[in-house]
Every structure is written in C-alpha cells, then in structure tokens.
Amino acid sequence: MRTTEVLLSEKPFVHEQAVLKNTRLGTFTEVGMSNFVENSVLDDYSYTGQFCFIQNTEIGKFSNIAAMVRIGPTDHPYERPSLHHFTYRSQMYGFSEQDDVPFFEQRESRIATIGHDTWIGHGAIIQPGVTIGDGAIVGSGAIVTKDVPPYAIVVGVPAKIIKYRFPEETIAALQRIQWWNWSYDTIKDRLEDFRLDIEQFIEKHDGRVETDATSA
C-alpha cells in the first residue's frame, strides 16, 4: 500500500524518517517511510515500502519490496557462553575500549542478494546470505532460509516453492532478454510491450541485439 504518490527521477527519493548508512541508491529508486538500510545497494527502479529493515544486502533492478520486510537480519553469537551483545558491543558497557571487530566483519560479509524484477511480500524475512533469483516472488510473511531459484514463488515458514511463474523455456528466454538492463528510453519506447502476453513479448524480443542497453 502506498500512502503518498511521488514523481520519481534519476535522483533517489527517500521518505521521511528513513535512515541510510553506507548504502548506494540507483536512479528512480524510492526508500519508504521509516526504513533502516545499512551496508546495502538498492539498484535502479527498485523501491521499498514502509518500515523495512535491510542490512548487508544487494538488491537488483526493478525490485518490489513491500512494507515491513526484513532482509539480512543479523545473528547473535549463539555458540558463545552468552548470546548478549555485551560480548561484541563491549564499549557500550565500559567492558572494553574496542568492540569485537572480527565479529562485525564476519556478520557484514554474509550478503543477501535480491535479483532483478523480484517481489518481496509484506512482512517477509530473508535470512543473511540468501539469494533470491531474478523474477522470483516471496509471499507475505514468509521466512526465507534457503536460496530461491529465478521466477519461483515461495511461501510459508520456512519458505518453500509452490510453483514457478512460467515454464522453463519461458524463464530461459526472459533471462536471455534481460530487459531490466534496457535503457530508460528503450523501456519508455517499448512500454506497451510489457502489457503483451508473455509469449508475445518473448517472440518480439528474444534474440534481439540491444545496442543501447545499460548496466548502470
């Protein structure tokens, strides 16, 4: 659900009360109200809904992320004598002059990857290090603990594949076309093609050489 309408541009649009740390935003991106995004990338045309919490994540182009999504939740050190963060945030308690740097480095290295043209449903949780393939859908409230193949639809706790959006040959064709790398002008010019039947779209564009595609 959108609470406000904005006109997007090459300059990212960040809603009020959103906090971004060490994060890169692409063109035509939108960060929802009261988001927290850290050590992450939100590539071109992707957006997040309200109250999302995203850490250590690379999000591709045209990703649709609903409200209250959690991606890359950080772990407590359950193998230690105590789970509590005084063991790694020691400065907060005056126990040490330095926090546990190796622990934080290890945690930040577990990158979650969200592919292009994905849809992450309301309240979904995607664990650290998980890859969501291009075109995949994660159902509302799902908890994703394993990689999701391209164009799969997963739901539940833990998330499981219920079906694929298209047959294998259609998925392969879409991955060959990689329309998400088309330039702004190309997408604008071919907007009506995205309203075609999927087979008509593939027939028109599979095997076509793009001379103006970008990978920015």
Q: How far apart are CA 57 and CA 55, in angstroms?
A: 6
Spatial CA neighbour of 53 closest among 33, 24, 79: 33
The pLDDT of residue 4: 63
Which of 150, 165, 180 marks a domain boundary? 165
The pLDDT of residue 208: 65
129 with 187, same domain?
Answer: no
- Please count the CA atoms within 13 angstroms of the CA of 101 that sit on its side-chain side: 2
174 with 208, same domain?
Answer: yes
The pLDDT of residue 216: 39
The pLDDT of residue 1: 55
154 with 114, same domain?
Answer: yes
CATH number at residue 34: 2.160.10.10
192 with 144, same domain?
Answer: no
Report the catalytic residues: 76
Spatial CA neighbour of 183 closest among 212, 145, 163: 212
The pLDDT of residue 93: 95
Domain limits at 124? 13-72+110-165
126 with 173, same domain?
Answer: no
The pLDDT of residue 214: 44
H or E stretch covering 200:
helix 198-205
| pTM score, whole prediction | 0.90
Q: How far apart are CA 31 and CA 42, in angstroms?
A: 9
Amino acid letter, residue 5 = E
Query: What is the dihedral angle through the alpha carbons of 52, 55, 61, 66, rounded to the nearest 10 degrees?
Result: -20
pLDDT in tens, the chain (216 residues): 555 678 999 999 999 999 999 999 999 999 999 999 999 999 999 999 999 999 999 999 999 999 999 999 998 989 999 999 999 999 999 999 999 999 988 888 999 999 999 999 999 999 999 999 999 999 999 999 999 999 999 999 999 999 999 999 999 999 999 999 999 999 999 999 999 999 999 999 997 655 454 443
Pairing of strands 152-155, 160-164: antiparallel
| In a domain? residue 98 | no
The pLDDT of residue 209: 55
Q: How many domains does the chain have?
A: 2
Spatial CA neighbour of 133 closest among 179, 164, 170, 173: 164
152 with 179, same domain?
Answer: no
The CA–CA distances, whole Å, from 61 to 5, 12, 42, 172, 180 equal: 20, 13, 8, 18, 7
| In a domain? residue 103 | no
155 with 173, same domain?
Answer: no
159 with 174, same domain?
Answer: no
159 with 170, same domain?
Answer: no
25 with 64, same domain?
Answer: yes
The pLDDT of residue 210: 59
